[in-house]
Amino acid sequence: MPLTRAATLAAAAGILACLVPAEAGAQGTERQRLACMTDAMTLCSRDVPDTRRIERCLRRNYARISAPCQGELDAAAGTAPSPDAGGAVPSGR
């Protein structure tokens, strides 16, 4: 298996493990993979395969990650985006 493919698979496993609550296991969902894979590889590739570092990196770069990945991070943390002063929910982009 080429090294880049192995790194991509390791990143996918890491992202899934950090996005899924412990009681659900470390498998994650296809939706989480699709939502965060590009962001993780773009912003956090140096943190692969350390799942805790990937999660911290994604959260540290929250304003820069895609709206779908933000939604998955929010769902994993049990939070939702807060409305701004005008009552609108931020889109993240």
pLDDT digits (tens, 9 = 90+) for 64-83: 999 999 999 999 888 766 54
Q: Is residue 91 in a domain?
A: no
Comparing CA positions, the residue from 66, 4, 83, 59 lying closest to residue 31 is: 66
CA 2 – CA 93 distance, rounded (Å): 34
Q: Is residue 42 in a domain?
A: yes
3-state SS of the chain is CCHHHHHHHHHHHHHHHHHCCHHHCCCCCHHHHHHHHHHHHHHCHHHCCCHHHHHHHHHHCHHHCCHHHHHHHHHHHCCCCCCCCCCCCCCCC
CA 83 – CA 7 distance, rounded (Å): 37
- pLDDT at position 78 is 85
Residue 51 pLDDT grade (very low, low, confident, very high; cuts 50, 70, 90): confident
What is the count of structural domains for the chain?
1
Q: Is residue 87 in a domain?
A: no
pTM above 0.85, yes or no: no
What domain range includes position 51? Answer: 3-18+30-77
Q: Is residue 69 in a domain?
A: yes
Comparing CA positions, the residue from 53, 23, 56, 58 lying closest to residue 43 is: 58
Q: Is residue 55 in a domain?
A: yes
Q: Is residue 23 in a domain?
A: no
